Chains A and B, each alone.
Chain A
Amino acid sequence: MTIPSFKKDMFVMLIFSAVILTMPMWLKPLGAGYPDLLQKFAIFGIFAVGYNILFGLTGYLSFGHAAFLGVGSYTAVWSFKLLTMNVLPAILFSVVLSGIVAAIIGFISLRRSGIYFSILTLAFAQMFYNMAYSVLTPVTNGETGLQLARTDPRIIDNMLSEAGAGLPSPGLFGIQMSGYSGFYFCAVLLIIAFFISQRIFHSPFGMKLQAIKSNQTRMKYTGYNTRPYLLTAFVISGMYAGLAGALMATTDPLAGAERMQWTASGEVVLMTILGGVGTLIGPLLGVGIIKYFENIFSALNEQALLAAYSFMPDWLAKMMVTITSPFVGEGWHLTLGALFVIIVVFLPGGIMEGLGKIKNLFRKRPPDPVEKTLVEGQIQEEKA
């Protein structure tokens, strides 16, 4: 477990950027090379990378990060409605506001640790979710969701030019935020987000967060005030979630409260664990796998299954369809659940642990003579 040098980190960054930016090319053969899905990869990637700063480094399991996602989305849409369709102010406001909300929730929740912390964050997120449908309806527009309208003030835009005839869409100085340009915008932000996360992981600050996860008692008696460290990590990961929420609103300018439901908080936990908690790249693998399979499995239906089993005899094909159909379409969460159980039971460290094991398999060298004689000696002792 050595500390990677700055040079090595930059090399990793270079490869990472290349892989992300060429995603449309290498995902095409896998049937995932279209902008909508690619944007989803990038946005959830940012969400998971940020979540991992809290959960992966400090070990504090938050079940309420969807609240920040929601705050980010609503703020972005309000920025579109009131100020301008430009995405930069929307993103800026979202990140700042979700950071403030995270500071408040974190300040209260971090008084407890372990399961109590998880429950507190869950309670806060559910409070936000319910308030979006009740007291906060003037802000959130309740069940309809917050939408753009032609009559919105858009103060800055209207000062600069006449309002167009149709409904405007978000953009970056004239670049539309849909299609491939939208993906590249999200991808660049993901690269920046990953870079910041890498810097945190390999800084003294990140090492101290890992030390808190390892032994908080020792940290206190070593002269550290652990609370501000935890709060900073919580706020940073809240800001990442706010950014992801804002990007959801830029690619589809509509904010609904269902984004804040506990299932959304649960999803990011699944992604992080599936990929590998506390590793830099793991959460992104988790996002890729979950979003990719969601895309494939939820698109399947009985007809598609029947076509896939057409090589079988009729009665067998029908039986197979009956068995497998609950796992696809609306029921794809069942597949996800099964996959999650398998991963957690056999690879508690997620996919990253699996990759590490494969790597060790190839590196295996014959035992050196000293070890061998020791083992043989032991066997002889046991025999005697």
Chain B
Amino acid sequence: MSNIILEIDNVQKSFGGLKALHNLNLQVEEGKVHAIIGPNGAGKSTMLNVCIGRLAPDSGVVTFNGENVLGKQPHEINQAGISRVFQTPEIFPDLSLLQNVMIPAFAKREGSFRFNMFSNLCSEKEVMDEASHILHDIGLNEQEHDHAGSLSRGDKRRLELAMCLIQHPKLLLLDEPTAGMARHDTNRTIELLKKIKETGMTKVIIEHDMHVVFSVADHISVLAQGTIIASGTPDDIRGNPKVQEAYLGGAHL
């Protein structure tokens, strides 16, 4: 068995009386694409928020690469190697597309703080080329000087994905990367995800679109009412009656 890169151990999180996460246990293997599926309100996004330091759990431990991430600042967790694509795109709307991807590239090169006030942006050729290259990969290179705020929702999502990819994270968390995208754009994103899969980057992906899940995932876990009810290969999950009950109310996949 290969390395476990992310381990969520017995995590609990309540919002008032609502138990969002209840004895949650999850192990993500290095180099795998691990999909999390589950009905609305199952706690999928809450789980990711706990992993990146946005929410502190009530109890439990989250270990990344052998280190406890709880209590760390969000920027420290990112510097340790976790990047996240949010459910509603979080980009820099007032900056150009090129600048949007240059910012994370600088974070990767220079760490969480660097006072380089006298170097000129234009002389940072390496970062600029890297940024142009990745924009080309996602097909947004023609608009690289436009404001990111003027993009369509689907394009914003792809831009955010590029912002995460340029950091070459050890673990990439994707929260519904294709939600709100047209079929054509979804297929494009699947192609992109498959391409990254070849690089061996570990990914945790939350997705509602089964077409996407079954085309990219190596391993699927099903989350319902704050706990994992089933976990296994895509084929195991497809035939699991418990999953069909919880997720689809009995209908067949």
Contacts and interface: CB of A to CB of B under 8 A. Distances in A.
Contact of B92 (A203, A215, A221): A215
Contacts of B121: 3, 202-204, 207
Q: Which of A204, A213, A224 has the most CB of B within 10 A?
A: A204
A6 interface: yes
Given A210-B95, A211-B95, A225-B75, A205 B104 contact: no
B94 A210 contact: yes
Contacts of B124: 204
Interface residues of B, number: 44
Contact of B104 (A2, A5, A223): A223
Given A203-B121, A214-B94, A225-B75, 20 more contacts: A2-B145, A5-B120, A9-B120, A204-B102, A204-B106, A204-B110, A204-B119, A207-B99, A208-B103, A210-B94, A210-B95, A220-B78, A221-B90, A223-B104, A223-B107, A223-B108, A223-B112, A225-B73, A225-B112, A225-B113
A6 B123 contact: yes
B79 interface: yes
A234 to B, nearest CB: 13
A207 B75 contact: no
Most A-side CB within 10 Å, residue of B52, B73, B106: B106
A4 B92 CA distance: 20
A217 interface: yes
Interface string A314-348: 00000000000000000000000000000000000
A228 B86 CA distance: 25
B-side binding surface: helix, strand, loop or mixed?
Answer: loop
A1 B96 contact: yes
A14 B91 CA distance: 36
B75 A211 contact: no
Interface in B145-190: 145-147, 163, 167
Contact of B79 (A9, A211, A223, A226): A223
A232 interface: yes
Contacts of B93: 214-215
B74 A211 contact: no
B210 interface: no
A375 B122 CA distance: 39
B84 interface: yes
Contacts of A220: 73-75, 78
A210 B124 CA distance: 17
A219 B146 CA distance: 20
B116 interface: yes
A203 B116 contact: yes
A189 interface: no
A206 interface: yes
A305 B72 CA distance: 67
A222 interface: yes
B118 interface: yes
B15 interface: no
Which DSSP category, helix, strand, loop or mixed, fits chain A's interface? helix
A221 B107 contact: no
B95 A228 contact: no
A204 B95 CA distance: 13
A112 interface: no
B104 A222 contact: yes
Given A210-B95, A211-B92, A215-B90, A222 B103 contact: yes
A249 to B, nearest CB: 28
Contacts of A206: 117
Contacts of A357: none
A221 B84 contact: yes
A222 B163 contact: yes
A229 interface: yes
Interface in A179-218: 199-200, 202-208, 210-211, 213-215, 217-218
A340 B46 CA distance: 46
A30 B7 CA distance: 73
A208 B145 contact: no
A330 B100 CA distance: 49
Contact of A224 (B112, B117, B122): B112
A218 B94 CA distance: 13
A225 B102 CA distance: 17
A57 B6 CA distance: 37
Nearest to A203: B117
Interface string A217-251: 11111111110110010000000000000000000
B116 A222 contact: no
21 contacts: A1-B146, A1-B147, A2-B96, A3-B121, A6-B122, A199-B118, A202-B120, A203-B120, A207-B121, A213-B94, A215-B90, A218-B92, A220-B75, A221-B54, A222-B83, A222-B103, A222-B107, A223-B104, A223-B111, A223-B167, A225-B113
B145 to A, nearest CB: 5
A6 B90 contact: no
A229 B122 contact: no
Of B99, B102, B116, most buried by chain A (CB within 10 Å of CB) is B99
Contacts of A207: 95, 99, 102-103, 121
A2 B143 CA distance: 11
B192 to A, nearest CB: 20
Contacts of B163: 222
A52 to B, nearest CB: 15
Q: What are the nearest 6 A-B pairs in CB distance?
A: A223-B78, A223-B107, A214-B92, A225-B112, A214-B94, A218-B90
A228 B92 CA distance: 20
Nearest to B97: A1
Contacts of A199: 117-118, 120
Interface hub of B91, B102, B113, B115 (most chain A Cβ within 10 A): B113
